[in-house]
Amino acid sequence: MSDENAAVDAFETLGLTSYEAKVFIALHRLGAGTARDVAEVTDVPRSQVYSVAESLESKGLLEVQQSNPIRYRPVSVDTARETLRNQFEREQDRAFEYVETVKNEPSGEETQEDIWTVRGRDRVTDRIIELVSKADDRIIFGTRLSELVTDSIERTLSERAAAGVSVVIVSRTPAIHERFADHEGIVVDTPPSHRDDDQRSGRIAVADDDSILLSVLGGESGETAIWSSESVFASVLIQLIEASDEVRGD
């Protein structure tokens, strides 16, 4: 794919039609020009250039000189960039505002337990942060690997502790104990030793009594987690884990 074709595709992603993108690019190449000039350097038919130019003018991307023949001049690259950015943001807001209005509408279907899978270390991290950020009472976070305690997770746990949420870190790794030693309101605990040979365990995050995430390492994604929030499944699983003494939230 040529650079110009790639640019046309990019402009289409930003909301222009293929002809609009080609005319806009052509006018920047020419500096200014008539419909005939544009048609000579693009595959846009001359008869189509007029309507395309009118559309570009309405979008604030070119200026029209009322001469005979009519001449067109594109706005500057910086102006065009800002115009398209604002347009993209408006369309984005409109789209997601609609999604927000419909996402909680009842579907009329029977409610089922929500058990989700998320793959990839960054996505698992994002999900952990989202779950623990909503905790009102307590958080338990555990891992054996220092690299799985990201700065963003550390910051979120510290913020929740400062907000009065009980935060317990469960790990046998000295570096993790040291990392949280000076965090006020965070307790660092040591789990039972009978899982020392486990090389696949990733992270566990418990938020209150009804949200949990468990991850394992390996596979193409590097880390895979299952999680559930505000569900009976999550509540029962948390009770089972605590009963087995895998984690202690006291």
Hey, what CATH topology would domain 116-243 get? Endonuclease; Chain A (3.30.870)
In order of 82, 211, 213, the CA distances from 155 in angstroms are: 34, 20, 18
Binned at pLDDT 50, 70 and 90, residue 111 comes out as very low
Residue 241 is encoded by which pair of tokens? 């884990």
Domain residue limits, the chain: 3-100, 116-243
Place of tokens 């579907």: 107
pTM of model > 0.85: no
Count of Cβ atoms closer than 10 Å to residue 114 Cβ: 12
DSSP state letters, the chain:
--HHHHHHHHHHHTT--HHHHHHHHHHHHHSSEEHHHHHHHSSS-HHHHHHHHHHHHHTTSEEEE-SSS-EEEEPPHHHHHHHHHHHHHHHHHHHHHHHHHHTTS--SSPP----EEEESHHHHHHHHHHHHHT-SSEEEEEES-GGGS-HHHHHHHHHHHHTT-EEEEE-S-HHHHHHHTT-TTEEEE---GGGTT--SEEEEEEETTTEEEEEEE-STTSEEEEEEESSHHHHHHHHHHHHTTSS---
Q: What is the CA radius of gyration of the chain?
A: 28
Q: Compute the distance between CA of residue 26 and CA of residue 32 in angstroms, rounded to an integer.
A: 9
The full length of the chain comes to: 250
pLDDT in tens, 173-196: 999 999 998 899 999 998 876 555
Whether the CA torsion 231, 237, 241, 244 is positive or negative: it is: positive
Instruction: For residue 191, give the nearest of 175, 206, 172 by alpha carbon.
Output: 172
pLDDT in tens, 24-67: 999 999 999 999 999 999 999 999 999 999 999 998 899 988 88
3-100 architecture in CATH? Orthogonal Bundle (1.10)
pLDDT in tens, 192-226: 765 555 678 899 999 998 899 999 998 887 899 98
Q: What is the mean pLDDT of residues 92-103?
A: 84
